[in-house]
Amino acid sequence: MPLLTSLTETVTDPGDAVRIGAVGLGREQLLAAATAVADRVAGAKAVAIEATADARTVTGIVGCLLAGVPVVPVPPDSGDTERAHILRDGGADLVLDPQTIDLGAKGTGSHPDPAPDRIALILYTSGTTGAPKGVPVTHAAIAAGLDSLAQAWDWTPDDTLVHGLPIFHVHGLVLGVLGPLRHGSRLVHTVRPKPTEYARAAVEQQGSLFFGVPTVWSRVAADLASATALRRARLLVSGSAPLPAPVFGRVEELTGHRPVERYGMTETLITVSSRADGERRPGLVGVPLSGVRTRLVDDEGCPLPHDGEAVGELQVHGPTVFGGYLGRPDANASAFTPDGWFRTGDVATIHPDGWHRIVGRASTDLIKSGGYRIGAGEIEDVLLALAGVREAAVVGVPDDDLGERIVAFVVGEGLTAQPVIDHVARQLSVHKRPREVVFLPELPRNAMGKVVKQLLG
């Protein structure tokens, strides 16, 4: 079955299939213009395209997929060095400027469906531990991932998906653009993920399914009018970073919805999620999707119990997991276990009923202090529940005595360090209290709203 099933097989054209900002495209128009792009790029090794939130960009990406040509989305805010690396490493022999794409064009070529194992996208990791690594993602992996999410979220052609996320990552591109074109739901992209734009789409476009990162939902929770408008929605989905429990609670209070959380990576797509027809637990991301298996291991690779307490590295196996980094045999050797499981580099706990809590990255969110293994996320949740705290990030820094000492970086008003430390000590074990509190005007974040902890400490 072709990846973009709804686009290529839908006969009727009821209206806008895709609306990005003020520009709307029906399925017939999008297919015709994308086919013209496919005619243009057919035979290319790979095509790079600046992934701006624009109808022409989406048309260009779709055209490449129809032609079976791998797409290398380039973040529009990438610097010269990062951009040059992506273009060189991704092997693109053609750079497609969205400004040259004609939305009124009609292609004449006939392009066979790409093989399932054909590379669809070459996405790039965030590069927090070196130069960004290329992640080839196949048509089959994307199809499997989107189909499992349709099952988990009751995602149907009757939905109108609304989001304003960047379209060069899994969340905004794979889920947020290719998902509607596979499942037949309308897409309304607000260009920027502003609460007021989400509210407008809920009212004017009958938005039913909304995607956002925690920063988006935090801002929605601070905007009463916008949050109230989202009561019209069917489902709110949060991802790309843990949703703080206080934000979860405030969103539920104002919108009437308990957000669905999910977990995934560029290398694996989405692997774990709560369900539309099931419970949602603040601080937990759900259970494995169809076909996905997960396990926890300790530093030596030995299995850990799924008891909700043991903290270990999360490893995954399933149809959405990639086959290896582009041209990086060194990275591939350490990324997979001898029995073929992907080492996510994330630390987690798994409850006896299969529910997962993502503690964070092993490199920054698992703190080893005084002989204890401590998850930064647990402390961050407690900090965010303290009056006056707007944002919080916790890291471990080298310490001659403890190995690592806990440092909390806090954004807020009317706070001093000792009451913050005492608050954590009262709520959690004393050994989990911060030894130091640093107050900042804001936390450093990347394009997806994730805190860049490498810039802290």
CA 51 to centroid of chain Cα atoms = 16
Between CA 159 and CA 149 the distance in angstroms is: 13
Tokens coding 259: 């957000």
**Between helices 27-41 and 55-67, what is the axis angle to 10°?**
60
Residue 105: predicted pLDDT: 96
Phi first, then psi, for residue 187 (nearest 5°) are -120, 125
Tokens coding 56: 């022409």
Question: Where residue 371 sits, what CATH number does that domain have?
Answer: 3.30.300.30
The residue from 339, 358, 377 where one domain ends is: 358
Together in a domain, 36 and 56 = yes
Q: For residue 100, give every residue at least 6 positions away whose Cβ sits within 8 Å of its Cβ, in sequence order, or none.
A: none
Predicted model pTM: 0.85
Q: Do residues 136 and 72 touch, judged by C-beta distance below 8 A?
A: no
Together in a domain, 152 and 93 = yes
**End-to-end CA distance of the chain, in Å?**
49
Question: Where residue 95 sits, what CATH number does that domain have?
Answer: 3.40.50.12780
Residue 103: predicted pLDDT: 96
What DSSP assignment string belongs to 14-47? Answer: -SEEEEETTEEEEHHHHHHHHHHHHHHHTT-S-E
Together in a domain, 144 and 219 = yes
Together in a domain, 147 and 36 = yes
Q: For residue 245, give every residue at least 6 positions away whose Cβ sits within 8 Å of its Cβ, in sequence order, or none.
A: 282, 283, 381, 384, 385
Q: Which helix (H) or strand (E) covers residue 314, if one does?
A: strand 312-317
Residue 429: predicted pLDDT: 74
Helix (H, G, I), strand (E, B) or coil at 195: helix
Cβ density class 212-230: b for 16+ within 10 Å, e for less: bbbbbbbbbbebeebbebb
The residue from 323, 340, 358 where one domain ends is: 358
Residue 311: predicted pLDDT: 87
* Total number of domains in the chain: 2
Between CA 28 and CA 10 the distance in angstroms is: 9
Beta-carbon-side half-sphere exposure of residue 182 (alpha carbons within 13 Å) = 23
Residue 397: predicted pLDDT: 87
The domain in which residue 439 lies consists of 364-455
The residue from 330, 358, 386 where one domain ends is: 358
Together in a domain, 306 and 218 = yes
Together in a domain, 377 and 442 = yes
Residue 378: predicted pLDDT: 77
414 phi-psi bin (left φ>0, alpha ψ -120 to 50, beta other): left
Residue 12: predicted pLDDT: 59
Residue 448: predicted pLDDT: 61
Q: Which residue ranges of the chain lie beneath pLDDT 50?
A: none
Together in a domain, 142 and 173 = yes
Q: Which residue from 127, 139, 122 is spatially nearest to 51, judged by alpha carbons?
A: 122
Q: For residue 409, give every residue at least 6 positions away whose Cβ sits within 8 Å of its Cβ, in sequence order, or none.
A: 392, 393, 394, 395, 437, 438, 439, 440, 443, 456
Together in a domain, 306 and 407 = no
Together in a domain, 321 and 394 = no
What DSSP assignment string belongs to 71-129? Answer: EEEE-TT--HHHHHHHHHHTT-SEEE-GGG--TT-------PPPPTTSEEEEEE---TT
72 phi-psi bin (left φ>0, alpha ψ -120 to 50, beta other): beta
Q: In what order do the strands lie in the sheet with 312-317?
A: 293-297, 312-317, 342-350, 356-361
Together in a domain, 294 and 382 = no
Together in a domain, 174 and 86 = yes
Together in a domain, 99 and 134 = yes
Q: For residue 172, give every residue at least 6 positions away whose Cβ sits within 8 Å of its Cβ, in sequence order, or none.
A: 163, 165, 166, 211
